[in-house]
Amino acid sequence: MGGLITGCLVASADRAIDPQEDAMIRSMTAYALCSRQTPLGTLSWELRSVNQRFLDLSPRMPEDFRSLEPAVRQRFKDAINRGKVEANLRFQLDPGAASARVELNEELASALGRVVREFAGHTGGAAEPDLVHLLNWPGLVQQQRPDFEAEREMAMTLLDEAIAALIAAREQEGAAIADMIETRLKGIEAQVSAVEAHLPAIREALDKRFRDRLAALGEPVEPGRIEQELVLQLQKLDVDEELDRLRAHVAEIRRVLALDEPVGRRLDFLMQELNREANTLGSKAAMVETGQAAVELKVLIEQMREQIQNIE
């Protein structure tokens, strides 16, 4: 849980934002609460957001502030691209401000007083009026409805602060996700390098295995035919192209992470491409080490994919 920021409480990952960073991905999960005292009471905006394929806004406001809904929707549309957002505006009227607007209908009070005096004249003053009950007379006590125009304007200003706090929280969480992704990308690079280091041994083992099988047949085979068959087998198990594409996808993910725009959908597509190459690598596994690398790659990719589902 973060601290107060100009009257706003935000919840996000424990990572400071570097103001020098040009671009930063945003998580779709965040929370912000902003409050402000007004002459009539207390305004507060509570914003919650979770992941969603598109922007899904659910605003809730008191009846006196309902006219703000179109402007509220536009504010979110201008600031946020994706996520399911709940935006709750609350207004707590100050009791003192409410009581200050209670007034007596003087004309009606004078008329009721005259009637009471006339009635007392007919009864010889035996009946004293019950003033408390008279206060319940319809229209005798009037409570003026407050003018909330200033509060509505302040609510929109406060909403801007709340949205800014929500975005800051989303960026902090996004930075934590980016750190996690970078760790997994380095893990993928390590697995690619490990497979490349095993390639000479893989080719040598395949050559030996193929020649041993031919020798076991006990039939003479033309040397040229042996080389052709060996080349065909090596081509079927060659993983150089998959390793190159894995490295290219890793480089593209890093480039996309640096873009100053929503990148969640693009990263999700790249996870599919990474997974495809890992599957192909696994299907071509000629040694235990290659198969293990393919499994580790899929684990790393799935860990990234789970987090990327939450990126705007």
Summarised one tens digit per residue, pLDDT across range 170-194 is 999 999 999 999 999 999 999 999 9
Nearest 10 degrees: CA dihedral of 172, 174, 175, 178? 170
pLDDT-derived band at 242 (thresholds 50, 70, 90) equals confident
The per-residue pLDDT for range 87-116, each reduced to its tens digit, is 999 999 877 655 556 677 778 778 877 877
Closest by Cα among 36, 300, 87, 97 to 184: 300
* pLDDT recorded at residue 267: 96
Is the predicted pLDDT of residue 232 greater than 80, yes or no?
no
- For residue 219, the model assigns a pLDDT of 62
Q: Is the pTM of this model over 0.85?
A: no
Percentage, residues of the chain above pLDDT 70: 73
Residues 2-49: tens digit of each pLDDT: 333 346 776 654 444 343 344 578 999 999 999 999 888 899 999 999
User: Among 26-35, 146-155, 197-206, which stretch is predicted with the lowest mean pLDDT?
Assistant: 197-206
Instruction: Supply the mean pLDDT for the chain.
Output: 82
Start and end residues for every CATH 3.30.230 domain found in the chain: 4-97+147-172
Q: Could you count the other beta carbons within 10 Å of the beta carbon of residue 180?
A: 15
Dist. CA 31–CA 10, nearest whole Å: 6
pLDDT over 90 percentage in the chain: 50
For 126, phi then psi, to 5°, come to -75, -25
pLDDT digits (tens, 9 = 90+) for 259-289: 989 999 999 999 999 999 999 888 876 667 7
pLDDT in tens, 118-129: 777 776 665 566
Separation between Cα atoms, residue 103 and residue 166, nearest integer Å: 43
Crossing angle for the helix pair 264-283 and 288-308, to the nearest 10 degrees: 170
CATH number of 4-97+147-172: 3.30.230
